[in-house]
Chain A
Amino acid sequence: MSANGKPKFAMYWAASCGGCEIAVLNIGEKILDFDANFEVVFWPVAMDAKYKDVEAMPDQSILLTLWNGGIRNKENEEIAHLLRRKSQILVAFGSCATEGCIPGLANFSSTEEIFHAAYDSISSENPEKLRPQYRTQMPEGEISIPEFYPTLRTLDQVVKVDYYMPGCPPESHQIASVIDLVIQVLQGKATLPPAGSVIGAGISTVCDDCPRQRNVKLVKKFTRIQALQNPDPTLCLLEQGVPCNGPATRQGCGALCPQAGAQCIGCYGPAEGVIDYGARLISAFASVIDSTDPDEIEAILDGIPDPAGQFYRFNLAGSLLRAGMKSWSR
């Protein structure tokens, strides 16, 4: 508890885009309830604070820490350990922290390839081909930047995590309901869910929230949604041959994308009980292919030009294999 008696709150971003912070601010007037019940002690996006301020806090003094972002470098890892020590409840918040998300896709590339894309590729303005150096001598002494790790890890691959909140980003109404729950717990009106639970989402799949009609799926051709002739706005996208990730993806968003005419890309991560998100999708897609002939099946599969990207767009770092060989082999 702080001087004003309010429990302390922290939010941190590691390898992430900042969308999770915006989703938190998107909760609207609920932010006033939040402010009435918590004292924000550390939130680099929203307020000025130094790591040494956190280090000076007693262990376990922060009640709730929302962590978004994967563990990409040494700084991320050190702060993860620091905030774990200082926090009573640590929530892996958003897809990056729970399963790696888009930054985790770099686990298909070597460190050299990542640096090349960032500093030498056609999209970079870097005529002198400068690369960051871990250590640099300056007149004032040596300065350093954090070491870049070969793979991105999820938060629970680095420290113990109490709760998981999926989504890229988590939907604001889900964030609001989780904050509501925590406030009710503080007031003694509710109890926390079991440790290790996924919060702010359902247990079934996006298909269960999707209003599109489902029949027997028999697909002769996979196609990008943009290339679909006369798309049926009421029929299941997968039935129309569009690779939709709904069958493996956790419900929680309200099936926003399929309702807007776009396929589910899987940002809410694996549904309850799914061990490997990509493996579940391989099963689902293989089941709908209408062929028993190996050559014809191969031709149909050509309609999914990047299967690993399709199946692991959000989940690579959290999958069983975790990373492509290029990222870890010497």
Chain B
Amino acid sequence: MTENFEPVIIGFTCNWCSYRAADLAGTARIKYPPNVRLIRMMCSGRLDPSFVMKAFSEGADGVLITGCHPGECHYLEQNYKALRRFLLMRRTLAQFGIEPGRVKLVWASAAEGVRLANEISKIVEEVRALGPLNWPKWKDNGVHKIALHELEEV
């Protein structure tokens, strides 16, 4: 089973840099593993930690958060906010038993298609080595709190 294990990585990308880096990688035909599912946000500062919790609770084996290099944020300093959230979130997730290697923060400018592709390959291999996370799919008899549906509709 583990031999055939293909990790599922959710990648959150910034509209102004890392998403364009991924775009550039595509245009330049730079290959990276298909394990990563990229989700575009306007900024890494938009990353609510609940997105990461939801990704892990619904089957992701790893999460990649990407943003502009320090000092280059389109919205001045939101990538620093993402950095602080990431560091605090990683500590919290470790207490849940989610290894720090499963969640990664990478800076990539719009010109760094190669760098982003390399970082994606790296996290895929790291998570492959860690093995599947297999977070339980909790079965409820009742309805869940109202707020959950909001996230699912986005």
A binds B: yes
Q: What residues make up the interface of A, taking CB atoms closer than 8 Å to B?
A: 108, 155-161, 196, 273-276, 278-280, 282-283, 285-287, 289, 291-292, 294, 297-298, 301, 304, 306-309, 311, 318-326, 328-329
Interface assignment of B148: CB less than 8 Å from any CB of chain A = yes
- A321 close to B57 (CB less than 8 A): yes
| Chain A residues with CB below 8 A from B54, complex form | 275-276, 320
Q: Which of A320, A323, A326 contacts B50 (CB 8 A)?
A: A320
Closest residue on chain B to residue A308 by CB atoms: B95
| Chain A residues with CB below 8 A from B96, complex form | 108, 308, 321, 324-325
B17 to chain A, nearest CB (A): 17
CB 8 Å contact bits of B51-92 with A (1 = contact, 0 = none): 011101100000000000010000001001101110111011
- B49 close to A279 (CB less than 8 A): yes
B23 to chain A, nearest CB (A): 28
- A158 close to B142 (CB less than 8 A): yes
- B142 close to A279 (CB less than 8 A): no
Closest residue on chain B to residue A325 by CB atoms: B97
| Chain A residues with CB below 8 A from B91, complex form | 301, 307
Cα of A159 to Cα of B144 in the assembled complex, Å: 10
Closest residue on chain A to residue B89 by CB atoms: A282
- B83 close to A297 (CB less than 8 A): yes
A137 to chain B, nearest CB (A): 34
Interface size class of B (residues with CB under 8 A): 35 or more
Interface assignment of B41: CB less than 8 Å from any CB of chain A = no
Cα of A286 to Cα of B44 in the assembled complex, Å: 14
CB 8 Å contact bits of B97-127 with A (1 = contact, 0 = none): 1100000000000000000000000000000
- B88 close to A321 (CB less than 8 A): no
Cα of A297 to Cα of B148 in the assembled complex, Å: 31
19 A–B contacts from the bound complex (CB under 8 Å): A156-B140, A156-B142, A157-B138, A157-B142, A157-B144, A196-B143, A278-B53, A279-B48, A279-B89, A282-B49, A292-B70, A292-B83, A298-B87, A304-B88, A309-B95, A320-B57, A322-B57, A325-B96, A325-B97
Cα of A307 to Cα of B89 in the assembled complex, Å: 9
| Chain B residues with CB below 8 A from A285, complex form | 88
Closest residue on chain A to residue B92 by CB atoms: A307
B3 to chain A, nearest CB (A): 20
Interface assignment of B153: CB less than 8 Å from any CB of chain A = no
Cα of A301 to Cα of B86 in the assembled complex, Å: 12
Closest residue on chain A to residue B87 by CB atoms: A297
- Chain B CB within 10 Å, residue with most, of A279, A282, A283: A282
Cα of A319 to Cα of B87 in the assembled complex, Å: 20
- B146 close to A161 (CB less than 8 A): no
Q: Which of A155, A196, A307, A319 contacts B95 (CB 8 A)?
A: A307
Interface assignment of B1: CB less than 8 Å from any CB of chain A = no
